[in-house]
A and B are shown apart, each in its own frame.
Chain A
Amino acid sequence: MELFTIQNLTFTYPEQVKPALRNISMELKQGDFAVLAGPSACGKSTLLRQLKTVLAPHGRKEGTILFNGIPLDEVNTRTQVAKIGFVLQDPDSQIVTDKVWHELAFGLESLGEDNKTIRGRVAEMASFFGIQNWFHMEVAQLSGGQKQLLNLASIMVLQPDILILDEPTSQLDPIAATDFLQILGRINRELSITILICEHRLEDVIPMANRLLILDQGELIADKDPAGTFEILRARNHSMLHSMPTPMRIWGSLNWNTPCPLTVSEGRSQLTEWAKENKLTSVPEQGVKIPTVEPCIILDEIWFRYEKETPDILKGVSVKAYPGELLCILGGNGTGKSTALAVLSGVRKPYRGKMICRAKRVSLLPQNPQMLLVKKNVREELMAAFPGKKLQDVADQIGEMVSLCRLEGLLDRHPYDLSGGEQQRTALAKVLLQKPDVLLLDEPTKGVDNDFKLIFARILKELTTQGVCIIMVSHDVEFCASYADRCGLFFDGSIVSIDAPQPFFAGKSFYTTAANRMARHLLPNAVTAEDVILSCGGETFSIELPQRPEKIDITPPEEHKPRKLPLWRKILGIFSGCAALGLLLYTAVMLDLSQLYKESGLIKSKIWVYVLMFALLAVFAASISRQAPVREQKLMQGKLSKRTKVAILLSLLAIPLTIAIGLTIDGGRSYMMISFAILLESMFPFFLIFEGRKPQARELVILSVMSALAIGGRAVFFALPSFKPVAAMVILTGVAFGGEAGFMVGSMTMLCSNILFGQGPWTPWQMFAMGLIGLLAGILFRKGLLYRDRFSLSVFGGLAVFVIYGGIMNPASVLMYQPNPNWQMILSAYITGVPVDVIHALATVLFLWFLSETMLEKLDRVKVKYGLIEK
């Protein structure tokens, strides 16, 4: 029975001429295990996403997709959700809730199943996957493999007919990846669920698959069983041949007349048979190179642990690394490889042992290249390596690097629009611009396909010829065997053996390459597929890589510059700013706390100072703020939504009513009760309206991401109390997504941060104060009173924190704990609160000054991606 029937599918992205998918026709039957492969950017993800309506990208689609004989667009969402399961690449970002059990139930909750059904299905699935032991854990405690297993399980509870997986193992280590694929095989065999998987770890999936589909430049060029597809590729001499499993490649090169071997053991027995009739030439032994130069880095019995109480991570690591070599360190997870890199890079200091470093500069390329990507395009990313320099002065260096790392044509792209391999090369270029003599690489081939590995290997080769010492930590046995100068095995906190690749892998029985496992009984020194092929007298495939370009022009296209401020505004700004600052200092110095308790003495004499200060600040803000370009302004501004208006109106109605009622009860002295009621009443309309309109997934995600960033951002500045980015993030949310979103993020941030750091009677007050700041930012921006530039945002931020947050939280501290408050108490709370408020305001100003413009650009990008606004 056909589950999916695709006929003549052609798909073109918006504003593109060339279709991403061209004339694709295929069928998927019940129980199929189909593997989709192809060079990167060939349209694999695009094709998979066409098979579920909610995930299908925008664009022009021709042709038909039938699901169980019905056009997919006519199959209702509920059926699609349950019957078509989709697992994405990154295990982490697919998980949306904080508890394992909640994540498992998420899909069933959406479908509106009752508690009993959900309990039954979740229990069943947790048992099948062996999740029961971590059922109550928090998601953050799981390993990568467990997370991806959880994603799979949370889709399996919906009882799908087909599972579609888009590179599900690319972020996992080899053992977790193999486990994951084994479970997929089990699901296919035991439950007869159809599987369509896009995967580059072909060695593991091909033995399980009954179909291998090859996509190239949007066309389906092969759709047969693995052996049949291999034949097609061989006939075309296609570059994908290089990505096929080792036994198949050897079989293909040597033209054996046997059925195509899919596994190492099949290959091994065929090789044994073949060797009976043919003669093998032995693989020439690789001499162990004895380096003649001085080592540039020496580790001598290094011991390291993170805390005094925790166990040792490094236990006597000794290694020497020489200039001009590629030293690969292999080993399982959690053996301390990454920690060793951290010690080498100088981030961590060993507590025992000696480290001699003769290199001038040691640089580390982190496992996730995204950690280094901050700017809005690749050119600026590279420029960031030369702070304070002009483009013309460093053009030669950057041009050289662009050519070395093959970044030509990518300079104007946003780093996050690049593929994994391209991102990695960008990050590498950024690191290399620092001219390191020792380059540390942390699993650079993880999640990268074969073509990229070849280019990457070539870049590394050029670097080692230039005399750079490269130390690379990796799981990738095949890559290390092909390209390393020396390999070391890391185990239990130290390096067990270290040798040239050939003796290193030839001496091992398990931890070695597929070619070695297949041929070791006949050719003990054969380590790569090429070794085996050459010994058998065959010819290896060669792949043409594009030549390295010579001269690259890196000048950017013209950009518009903001208009300059007129002189009178500058003068006014300087004057009012200085005056406000002076007044602030005056109040700080002249403040006499002993005057506080004199009857109304302070109010009369000093209050004008504060009023004048705020007035001056307002003038300052108005005079230096610049209008954003008209186009943007139009895009973002508009009328307040009806909902926001209703919410504000409701709050305004409820507050006086409460005060009136409160005054009649208990002689108007239950301040605490009244203030608390007012708080809740002013927040409830927003919350209820938010609930009532049933927010969409993307809105929820945006709000929670903004809140989480505001809370998590504290981690950077933990050393400074009151120095937190919360208010800044809330203001930016208000400006970018509107007042209502600002209010929600403000109040949710305070609620959640108190869940983490401790609730108290202050929670509702903080929620209200922060929410109000976000709401105001949104309203003022919509009304055109607040501009999208850092001057006006910083001034607004400082004022908002000082006046609104301080203005609410200071009296709140009195209202919370003084059952019988009076004005003087509140005033004294204000004045004693000033230092804290000033620090908080200063932090907000700093944040907005340095980050508001880049941050708003980033938020706009997401809005375009979500389709919230047109580009």
Chain B
Amino acid sequence: MKNESFSGFHPAVNLAFFAAVLGMTMFIMQPIYLSISLFSSCAYLLYLRGGRGMLRQIGYLLPILLLVAIINPLFNHEGMTILWYLPNDNPVTLEAIIYGLAASVMMAASIIWFNCCNEVFTSDKIIYLFGRVIPAMSLLISMTLRFVPRFKNFLQSVIRTQRAMRQPENVKEKLQQALSAFSATVSWAMEQSIISADSMKSRGYGIAGRTAYSIYRFEKRDGIITVILAILCLGALVPYFTGSMRWDYYPALTGNLVEPVQIFAYLCYSGVCLIPLIINLMEDHKWNSLRSKI
């Protein structure tokens, strides 16, 4: 993976960011907020994965998005502006269509944010953050992740060995081979597990007062970013407290979108969503100027 600057921050900062954007994306159904979120998540994913990775993701998302958008007007008949009638005499309304679109944008944005999250929030960060609160489970995750590639390798070499002894001729034989390979892997894994448990006991697992070591340090810049993030989040939520956040899809599209306080909130929200991208661009710029000086 390329050197991504935002993932260099403390895991808690990463977590706070993703929790904030995912929470606001999933719970604020206001169209401008949704667009900001969708736009910034796409921009970040583009930065993380490049054009090709981004396109692949969108190609995979598009059909689901369409489905989500269509389902709502088919089943929801609220709304004032009736466009036409379905064969079963139920009306299709403009409001329901727009609502369906909004729902699919929300879904797209949240899935793309999750994609970014998968790039930045690697397993060791998850284990670190959980390690403080739920140490046994975080160790469980770590151990599972350790065993998966091992078992997979073993399983695949068993299958190769079987193929060397006998090429499967039909689907039934293929299935039989796969099952017996899996069975061999289970025996082996069970037997290995006894040694793993011995190794854990031998290194003192189970003594009271276990601590969780981490290679992460909370630096000054982590603190600064956290404060900025908190302030921007508050700013983005100001309309909620003043009551101007209200936006209704039914029975008709009602609500204001361009009050001054809202425009301020939009700016703050864009700030929240674009934090990682801005950090990355600043870092890239710094490196470029350093390099040009050499």
Contacts and interface: CB of A to CB of B under 8 A. Distances in A.
A93 B203 contact: no
Given A102-B142, A373-B184, A715 B211 contact: no
B213 A364 contact: no
Interface in B203-248: 203-215
A707 B144 contact: yes
Nearest to A857: B187
Contacts of B186: 709, 855, 858
B165 A431 contact: yes
Contacts of A88: 195, 198-199
Contact of B117 (A86, A112, A759): A759
Interface stretch (B9-17, B35-43, B129-137, B263-271): B129-137
A105 interface: yes
Given A155-B203, A702-B193, A817-B68, 17 more contacts: A81-B207, A94-B196, A96-B200, A109-B211, A110-B210, A111-B207, A370-B184, A371-B188, A673-B27, A704-B144, A707-B140, A752-B141, A758-B114, A759-B114, A760-B111, A761-B111, A858-B187
B145 interface: yes
A696 interface: yes
Contacts of A712: 147-149, 151-152, 155, 185
Given A109-B213, A110-B204, A712-B148, A374 B187 contact: yes
Sorted nearest first, the 7 A-B pairs with minimum C-beta distance are A708-B147, A110-B204, A81-B204, A712-B151, A704-B143, A112-B209, A107-B203
21 contacts: A81-B202, A93-B196, A96-B199, A96-B200, A97-B143, A107-B204, A112-B209, A364-B165, A371-B161, A371-B188, A416-B187, A597-B74, A599-B90, A700-B200, A709-B186, A758-B115, A817-B103, A822-B75, A855-B186, A858-B186, A866-B194
B187 A97 contact: no
A711 B144 contact: yes
B24 interface: no
A363 B165 contact: yes
Question: Which of A81, A697, A717 gathers most chain B CB within 10 Å?
Answer: A697
Given A105-B213, A820-B76, A824-B75, A716 B196 contact: no
Contacts of B62: none
Contacts of A101: 215
B115 to A, nearest CB: 7
B196 A96 contact: yes
A129 interface: no
A622 interface: no
Given A366-B161, A708-B189, A713 B197 contact: no
B49 to A, nearest CB: 12
Contacts of B139: 97, 700
Contacts of B199: 88, 93-96, 151
Interface string A746-766: 001101100110111100000
B134 A342 contact: no
Interface of A: 52, 54-55, 77-78, 81-82, 86, 88, 90, 92-99, 101-102, 105-115, 118-119, 122, 136, 139-140, 151, 154-155, 158, 342, 345-347, 362-364, 366, 368, 370-374, 415-416, 431, 434, 594, 597-599, 670, 672-673, 687, 690-691, 694-698, 700-705, 707-709, 711-713, 715-717, 725, 744, 748-749, 751-752, 755-756, 758-761, 816-820, 822, 824-825, 828, 846-847, 850-851, 854-855, 858-859, 861-862, 865-866
Contacts of A77: 204, 207
A744 B136 CA distance: 12
Nearest to B200: A697
A371 B144 contact: no
B158 interface: yes
A77 B135 CA distance: 21
A762 to B, nearest CB: 9
Contacts of A690: 136-137
Contacts, number: 315
A347 B136 contact: no
B6 interface: no
B182 interface: yes
A154 B134 CA distance: 23
Contact of B203 (A158, A725, A855): A158
Contacts of A110: 203-207, 210
Contacts of A136: 215
Given A112-B210, A713-B182, A708 B195 contact: no
A862 B135 CA distance: 25
B179 interface: yes
Contacts of A816: 107
Interface string B165-190: 10100000001001111111111111
A610 to B, nearest CB: 20
B123 interface: yes
B196 A345 contact: no
Contact of A859 (B164, B182, B190): B190
Contacts of A98: 123-124, 142-143, 145-146
Contacts of B134: 687, 691
B183 A102 contact: no
B159 interface: yes
Nearest to B179: A850
Contacts of A866: 194, 197
A725 B189 CA distance: 16
Contacts of B208: 112
B146 A96 contact: yes
Nearest to A158: B203
B285 interface: no
A725 B27 CA distance: 35
Given A109-B212, A366-B157, A94 B195 contact: yes
A115 B217 CA distance: 10
A374 B157 CA distance: 14
A374 B72 contact: no
B148 A752 contact: yes
A461 B186 CA distance: 35
B88 interface: yes
A862 B107 contact: no
Contacts of B195: 88, 90, 93-94
Contacts of B161: 364, 366, 371-372
B194 A755 contact: no
Contacts of A725: 182
Which residue of A98, A151, A756 has the most chain B CB atoms within 10 A of its CB atom?
Answer: A98
A362 B158 CA distance: 17
B99 interface: yes
A347 B85 CA distance: 62
Contact of B68 (A119, A696, A818, A858): A818
Contacts of B286: none
A824 B73 CA distance: 12
Given A366-B157, A704-B144, A708-B147, A851 B183 contact: yes
Nearest to B216: A115
A97 B128 CA distance: 12
B126 A755 contact: yes
A90 B196 CA distance: 10
Contacts of A759: 114, 117-118
Given A112-B207, A760-B111, A825-B71, A708 B148 contact: yes
B18 to A, nearest CB: 10
B184 A372 contact: yes
Nearest to B203: A107
B191 interface: yes
B185 A696 contact: no
Contacts of B115: 758
A144 to B, nearest CB: 12
A95 B146 contact: yes
A825 to B, nearest CB: 5
B211 A112 contact: yes
A115 B213 CA distance: 6
B146 A345 contact: no
Given A86-B202, A372-B161, A701-B200, A708 B151 contact: yes
Contacts of A597: 74-75, 86, 88, 90
